[in-house]
Amino acid sequence: MTQHQLYPEIQPFSQEMLQVSGLHRIYLEQCGNPDGKPVILLHGGPGGGSTPNMRRFHDPEKYRIILFDQRGCGRSTPHAELRENTTWDLVEDMEKIREHLNVEKWQVFGGSWGSTLSLAYAQTHPDRVSELVLRGIFMARKFEIDWLYSNGASIVFPDHFEDYQEHIPENERHDMVGAYYKRLTDRNPKVQIEAARRWARWEASVISLLPDPSRVEEFGEDSYAIAFARIECHYFQNKAFFKTDDHLLRHIDLIRHIPGAIIHGRYDMCTPFINAWQLKKMWPEAELHIVEDSGHASTEKGIIHQLIAATRKFA
């Protein structure tokens, strides 16, 4: 079987800054076919920002490809801002984008935190979603957050975890997210940036099945790290602003009629495969594709293949 490759690199036909609140302006771009099937792509993190590669999972002749940088990250302003920055603010921003672009209904495509936001949006506005394409399922439950930032992935990557853990005094290590949150919101920018680098480098170390030193270096760059770490930690300290730990699974019946594809790497150390398995159990109508030779990253060959197979099917 021929493995699907990313579509060729493309440039946006439209770029703008959209004012979504008195404080926040978000970067918004469109690529591909202006008259094609609309799809909105949701980046990870939260706080990761969109990348040029995200434009390449959909056939640009068939899709109107819409990307945005969520509040406080990427090209959105103010940079690394935590005020007015919650899951429900982002859901509302998506509706503002949809109305601004005169889109009736769109495919929602998201990986990692993007899968969380995709589910939250679809459950809030099910009549606006044509399909869901989800990768590296993350539902922001306590055990999922603990897995990555306390005890879980650390068992497989104790060497990388040490750099992240040793930044926190032993008497605070019972609550690593809380300890990092304290430092990432410190008044001293130097305290913030050192914590941000440690947090971001740790996560970059476990994303793909095979090590990628260039990713670790990129994540550790000051401007990226500060938005990524501050916004992630802010969301996880606040339980992603969900009222219950199982919020997304509890409301799954609202979206079971929407065609869905779930793609997850067997050896995902960021968001363990059990997340996808549990989502499929609650949403049997969705297709589950287990990628046996992949971790968490959207750039791994098996993940790319399944994501593009899904977007071709739904085109």
- What is the reported pTM? 0.98
Q: How many domains does the chain have?
A: 2
Residue 2 falls inside a structural domain: no
Catalytic, 76? Answer: no
Q: Are 164 and 287 in contact (CB under 8 A)?
A: no
CA 52 to each of CA 30, 31, 179, 274: distance values in angstroms, whole numbers, following the listed order? 12, 10, 34, 30
Catalytic residue among 24, 43, 93, 112: 112
The helix or strand, by DSSP H or E, that contains position 264, with its residue range, turns out to be: strand 260-265
Residue 35 falls inside a structural domain: yes
The helix or strand, by DSSP H or E, that contains position 29, with its residue range, turns out to be: strand 25-32
Residue 112 falls inside a structural domain: yes
- Output the pLDDT for position 2: 87
Residue 276 falls inside a structural domain: yes
The rounded distance, in Å, linking the Cα atoms of 144 and 278 is 12
- On whether both 147 and 219 belong to a single domain, the answer is yes
- pLDDT tens track for 17-76: 999 999 999 999 999 999 999 999 999 999 999 999 999 999 999 999 999 999 999 999
Residue 125's domain is classified under what CATH number? 3.40.50.1820
Range of the domain at 169: 143-240
Residue 4 falls inside a structural domain: no
- pLDDT tens track for 217-268: 999 999 999 999 999 999 999 999 999 999 999 999 999 999 999 999 999 9
- On whether both 233 and 257 belong to a single domain, the answer is no
Catalytic residue among 154, 296, 298, 305: 296
Catalytic residue among 93, 208, 247, 268: 268
Please state whether 62 falls in left (phi above 0), alpha (psi between -120 and 50) or beta. Answer: alpha
Given 179, 209, 240, the domain boundary residue is 240
Catalytic, 268? Answer: yes
